[in-house]
Amino acid sequence: MVLLKRWLRRGVLLGLVAIILGGGPVAQAASKTVTKVPARAAYVMDAQSGQVLYQQNADKRYPIASLSKLLTVYLTVKAINDGKIKWTDQVPISRDLLKLSHSYAYSSLRMKKGETFTVKQMVAAAMIASSNSAATALGEYVAGSNAKFIALMNQQSKDWGLEAHFISSSGLDNTDLKDYNLVLPGTGKKEENLVSAKAITTVAQHLIQADPSIVQISGKKEDKINGTQIYNENMCLKGQSHYDKATNIDGLKTGFTENAKLCFTATYTVNGQRMIATILGGDTTFSAMNKLIKQLKKQYQLATTTLNDRRITLANGLSTTVWAQPTSSQAGVWYQDQAAGLTTTVETKLSPAQMSSGTVNAGDPVAQATVTDTKTGKQQAITYRSQQSVTLFADRVIFNEQTQPDPLLQTLVQPMATAFQ
């Protein structure tokens, strides 16, 4: 299978793609009905709450091409957040990946022998230019080998309960990978990544939560890596051929192979609320994405409540409090026919580790705000994080190496402990 990696390049091919994809932005539909998306599958969700606004064959696995890189980048960001690697680390590039980077069909960033790239540069190359060499190099660096990283991808999918099966970190299938010694042992000659629309949208949600700046990275129309110009294949970004002011798509990732067809996971905001939409296996996917988003904006309304910094009492009977900041400045619920009725509750929630040590560090989660729509029962949970480090009580000495829960502390925080049961 030939991967058309330069199908959206500047020049002659751009005009051809515009014809194939059905021209410019589609006008808003007069009806509030959401028409079926002309593709294999689709899924739209609120990135913060997970509330689903649209689904079509959402749980069926399909080829997703380079949307696979969303999980590769998530696992890279996770390794950074866990302190295992750093953004500034140099990523080794094997001889096979150098060869892959020189392929006209499969490459969007040509790499030179002896050239060095940081993790940050490789993430940018994978997200903006969909570089297969960059994505594979990240996987090998994070897990130690290509095979170990694929196992990590599948384990993460299993942990999240996703309908997904991965055989590559880039989205290339085995017919493409065979020439670069990247075929996973035990997989078929034509095997490929198979992932549902719901699953890859969920991956995108986790990625944005792990690193919100990924939206800004993926929203760049072009960039330079070590002096080499790279271009974004997302034609719905501002300034691109399918940008629509009414949808204002600002990220996230595209993918295309002859078998997967055009796949697209997009991010956009409505009244400050971050949304994620995926369409798999279409021919007019950019136009279809704009149309889908505009129809949903007509069908649904958003009710929001503002969340501010607040003082959190850490334990019953103790005077220790901290100023805490919500991870989002608002929470929202989508409704159709009946207006939402929002209520907000905030509960202290300390982890077993915090209870055991008797300490709370700056940045630790200490509470949860739950916004509930009393009309539908839909909820959104927002975490509050401490803005300072404190001990849970001032008149007792706390040793960080303590392994057994303090009896007094355990008694005082028993009401909160039940929240974890």
Known catalytic residues are 66, 69, 130
Is residue 360 within 8 Å of residue 390, measured between CB atoms? Answer: yes
Integer Cα distance of 132 and 228 in angstroms: 16
130 — phi, psi (to 5°)? 60, 40
Chain centroid to CA 81? 15
- Tens-place pLDDT, residues 186-243: 999 999 999 999 999 999 999 999 999 999 999 999 999 999 999 999 999 999 999 9
Report the C-alpha gap between 376 and 374 in whole angstroms. 6
**How far is C-alpha 136 from the chain's CA centre?**
18
Rounded to two decimals, the pTM is 0.80
Chain mean position to CA 116? 27
Query: What distance in Å separates the CA atoms of residue 166 and residue 187, rounded to the nearest whole number?
Result: 10
Ranges assigned E (strand) in 47-87:
52-56, 62-63
Structure tokens at 349: 């929630």
The C-alpha R_g of the chain, in whole angstroms, comes to: 23
Residue 67 · residue 255 · CB < 8 Å: yes
Q: In degrees to the nearest 10, what's the CA dihedral of 213, 24, 270, 40?
A: -80
Q: Which is it for the CA torsion 125, 127, 131, 133, positive or negative? A: positive
Question: Model confidence over 324-350: pLDDT tens digits?
Answer: 999 888 888 888 877 778 899 999 988
> pLDDT per position in the chain (421 positions), as tens?
444 444 433 333 333 333 333 333 333 333 457 899 999 999 999 998 899 999 999 999 999 999 999 999 999 999 999 999 999 999 999 999 999 999 888 888 999 988 999 999 999 999 999 999 999 999 999 999 999 999 999 999 999 999 999 999 999 999 999 999 999 999 999 999 999 999 999 999 999 999 999 999 999 999 999 999 999 999 999 999 999 999 999 999 999 999 999 999 999 999 989 999 999 999 999 999 999 999 999 999 888 889 999 998 887 556 688 999 998 888 888 888 777 788 999 999 888 888 888 889 999 999 999 988 887 788 888 899 999 998 876 544 344 444 455 555 555 555 544 544 5
| Tokens representing residue 109 in the block | 């960033």
User: Residue 172 carries which side chain, given as an amino acid letter?
Assistant: L
CA distance 241 to 234: 9
What is the Cα–Cα distance from 247 to 184, expressed in whole angstroms? Answer: 40
Ranges of H-type helices in 249-328: 285-299
